[in-house]
Amino acid sequence: MIIAIDVGNTNITVGCIEKKGIVFVERLSSNRHRTEMEYAISFKSILDLHRVSPEQIEGGIIASVAPELTDVLRGALQKFSIERILVVGPGVKTGMNILIDNPGQLGSDLLVDAVAAAAEYPLPAIIVDMGTATTLCVVNEKKQYIGGVVLPGVRCALDSLVSTTSLLPQISLEAPKTVIGKNTIDAMKSGVIFGNAAAIDNMVLRIERELGRKCHVVATGGLAPAVIPYCDHDIAIDKDLLLKGLKIIYDKNR
């Protein structure tokens, strides 16, 4: 069994994976002020909750877009005597050829998503990851990462809208009954849910037109279930895509 950690700007996803599949997935807040010991205590609580002992864990792998947290989390895992801890980055084999201007700029989370999508889904593929930002990444039929799109994340855009206006309230992320809102809250919900769904649909169309062929589309990330069901495209939701990619990369580097 291995422990896989995805460090995002907002949340840290923690999961244990064995040969049969994913044992559990939990989330913590990305808190840059917490110490190694504080994260170690959180990890121990999660393992205890799921009745997993540290002795069952043979190794770990971390993908991080928050460099200031990477070493802290690696140190937290080392407190459990986990000797083999990989960090996705230079020197780690992924099997993915990255065809962008500066491969070093590609976020490890997007790379891991692409590795998983190439292994699990038909190609070419578009991977929609809906977290702090909404990203669309493209893997061609040769299993090459050829680029992508970055949009403001659903929650970030909503928080910005509310914080810079005087009369607009915070709202829940649920779809209204109609596109045409009859009140401020329903109008905002329509814009946030249906507007983001429309943006994803249109970007998929533009990417397919540029490639000259249809793509398989898969979505992941914490906000995907709120928006993707309202897209016109047939988009699969795979909430564990990134953890699957981390397991693939860990196995490639045994």
DSSP character at residue 194: I
C-alpha–C-alpha distance, residues 221 and 200, integer Å? 14
Beta strand extents in the chain (DSSP E only): 2-7, 11-18, 21-29, 59-64, 84-87, 97-98, 125-130, 133-139, 144-152, 216-220, 235-237
Over 108-173, what HEC string results? HHHHHHHHHHHHHCCCCEEEEEECCEEEEEEECCCCEEEEEEEEECHHHHHHHHHHCCCCCCCCCC
Is cis: bond before 124, omega within 30 of 0?
A: yes
Is residue 109 among the annotated active site residues?
Answer: yes
Closest Cα partner for 72 from 36, 31, 34, 30?
Answer: 36
What's the start-to-end Cα distance of the chain, in Å? 13
Which helix or strand (DSSP H or E) is residue 205 part of? helix 195-211
How many Cβ atoms are within 10 Å of 28's Cβ, its own excluded?
18
Catalytic residue among 109, 113, 129, 238: 109
**Per the structure block, which two tokens stand in for 213?**
């062929």
User: Residue 111 class from Cβ within 10 Å (0-12 exposed, 13-18 middle, 19+ buried)?
Assistant: buried
Catalytic residue IDs: 109
